[in-house]
Structure 1
Amino acid sequence: MPSYDYPFNERIRTLLRLEDLFIKVLHNIEGEHEFIHHSVLLSIFQILDIIERAELKMDLLQELDRQKMVMNNLRGNPSIEEKVLNDLVTDIENAARPLRNTPGKLGQTLRDNEWLMSIKQRSVIPGGVCEFDLPSYHYWLGLSSERRKHDLSVWMSPLMPLHDAIRIILHILRGSGMTSNMTATNGAYQQMLGGAKPAQMLRVEISDDTPCFPEVSANKYAINIRFNSLDNAQRPRPCDHDINFSLTLCNL
């Protein structure tokens, strides 16, 4: 069932962007062709740009510590299975430990690599990584796929504690809300929000055989969802029929 996440604040938006980049890197790093590994390196550079904020590491550690405290306070609750709770606390601890032990700024070892930074600097220029611009990079792309995979894994290694922390936090966030079945009348849905603790993200899920996608406009006061489809020219067109979907409001 296709799902769409919509963040309500910049903090969750950053985590979702990093999650998306990590998914692409970890999938494509197993590829064989040099062009695939070129895409991996560009995604790594994008990760570095996003994590330039020095406080991201501290934000993640504080959230992991807070979630560990929340989970420990749930011990003895008869509606929660003890093994599931213990496994989640263990996952939180395993995610926090290497992140806490990472010295300095996230990704600093990559920033200290002059060769990588020379490629990163050229990569923002359209067509800036041609072989005549970066012959050493062209040579590296021509090495065996095993060598490229090894190098990419080495460069990704200092970023993996970040990946693990984001994975567990978003896992908790996505599992935090109650899911409701809704209907978008003539392809449109609106809901007013209230409560002392506003949602941080919403999830929309639709069935596989529904040929449309949601466009969301939301804040802490209201949600507006408009379902669209694509015509043959890939232009969005409003759906004019009722659409059943599920809606989850998530909050850490």
Structure 2
Amino acid sequence: MTLYEYPLNERVRTYLRLEHLFLRLSLLMARTEPLDHHYALATIFEVMDVASRADLKSDALKDLDKQKQTLNSYRGNPAIAENVLDAVVAQIDQCFTNLNNQTGKAGHSLTENDWLMSIRSRINIPGGTCEFDLPTYYAWQQKPAAQRQADLQRWAQTLSPLAEAIHLLLKMLRETGGAQKVVASNGQFQQILPQGRTFQLLRLSIDPLLALIPEISGNRLMVSIRLLQHQSDDRLQPSHQDAAFELTLCS
């Protein structure tokens, strides 16, 4: 099954973008080629750009605290294993402390590194990091892979508190949903969301053998899904066939 996720508010949209970047960063850092490490460094700069939103840190801290309060409300419930509950609450506390103790925004300390900032200023210019533009960066790319990986790990460490918090928050959010099987009639599906409950994330799983691509839109009141087909001329056309998929709403 191919999984698509769609955020139903701006905060979760930002969390998903950061999760995407952190996953890419971990994959690129594990590789050894200079080109992979170039894009790993570019990804660090992208994370810094996304994390530059003024209220991101406070939003994440508030969400962690809200999750802790929700879990603590389950104490005394015979259906809940207290030892598992304690472990999850301890993990939330650790993430909260690490993020709260971080000074400034994620990656703020890297802005004081003039060498890194000289690369950042040119990395989005087409061909802007050639050896004649940034000879010191070119020299760094010629170093042994282990040394480059150590440098990247050191720079990425400044982003770790945010990465851990985002990973935990999204994991817990995804666990709140229950999958339901639905059918898009004539390639279209709409669902009015129940009142009194705020959904934050939509997850859609569809069989890749159907060769259908969901175009999703939604808000706190309803979600709408239109299925598209990829044509041989690389254009997308609406599908008019009935198709089943799994839909999960997470709150």
Q: Could you say which TM-score interval applies, normalised by the shorter chain?
A: over 0.9
Aligned-pair distance for 1:208? 4.3
Distance 1:176-1:145 versus aligned 2 partners, 3 A rule: same
Partner of 1:123, secondary structure, is coil
Corresponding position: 1:144 with 2:144 = yes
Distance 1:250-1:47 versus aligned 2 partners, 3 A rule: same
Which segment is superposed worse, 96-105 or 81-90? 81-90
Does the CA contact (< 8 Å) of 1:204 and 1:245 recur in 2?
Answer: yes
Partner of 2:67, secondary structure, is helix
Aligned-pair distance for 1:246? 1.0
Distance 1:86 1:228 in 2: 45
Does the CA contact (< 8 Å) of 1:177 and 1:249 recur in 2?
Answer: yes
Corresponding position: 1:212 with 2:212 = yes
Letter in 1 for 2:169: I
Letter in 2 for 1:229: Q
Does the CA contact (< 8 Å) of 1:203 and 1:247 recur in 2?
Answer: yes
Return 5+ residue gaps in structure 2 as ranges: none
Aligned-pair distance for 1:114? 0.8
Letter in 1 for 2:174: R
Partner of 2:181: 181
Aligned-pair distance for 1:86? 2.6
Aligned-pair Cα RMSD in Å: 1.5
Does the CA contact (< 8 Å) of 1:216 and 1:224 recur in 2?
Answer: yes
Partner of 2:32: 32
Letter in 2 for 1:173: L
Aligned-pair distance for 1:143? 1.1
Partner of 1:7: 7
Distance 1:230 1:124 in 2: 31
Partner of 1:240: 240
Distance 1:59 1:102 in 2: 14
Return 5+ residue gaps in structure 1 as ranges: none
- TM normalised by structure 2 equals 0.94
Distance 1:132 1:11 in 2: 41
Distance 1:209-1:150 versus aligned 2 partners, 3 A rule: same
Which segment is superposed worse, 150-159 or 94-103? 94-103
Distance 1:23 1:97 in 2: 23
Corresponding position: 1:74 with 2:74 = yes
Partner of 2:122, secondary structure, is helix
Distance 1:185-1:52 versus aligned 2 partners, 3 A rule: same
Distance 1:189 1:80 in 2: 36
Partner of 1:12, secondary structure, is helix
Distance 1:163 1:81 in 2: 28
Distance 1:237-1:79 versus aligned 2 partners, 3 A rule: farther
Distance 1:86 1:96 in 2: 15
Which segment is superposed worse, 232-241 or 132-141? 232-241
Does the CA contact (< 8 Å) of 2:68 and 2:92 recur in 1?
Answer: yes
Partner of 1:148, secondary structure, is helix
Letter in 2 for 1:58: S
Partner of 1:200: 200
Partner of 2:44, secondary structure, is helix
Alignment of 1:57-72 (within 5 A): 57-72=57-72
Q: Give CA-to-partner distance per residue, 1:61-108, whole Å, 9 cap, x none.
A: 121111111101111223333343233212212221211221233211
Partner of 1:104: 104
Does the CA contact (< 8 Å) of 1:194 and 1:220 recur in 2?
Answer: no
Does the CA contact (< 8 Å) of 2:51 and 2:105 recur in 1?
Answer: no
Distance 1:186 1:90 in 2: 48
Partner of 1:70, secondary structure, is helix
Letter in 2 for 1:216: I
Corresponding position: 1:165 with 2:181 = no
Partner of 1:231: 231
When the two structures are aligned, how many residues end up with a matched partner? 251
Which segment is superposed worse, 227-236 or 147-156? 227-236
Partner of 2:22: 22
Aligned-pair distance for 1:154? 0.3
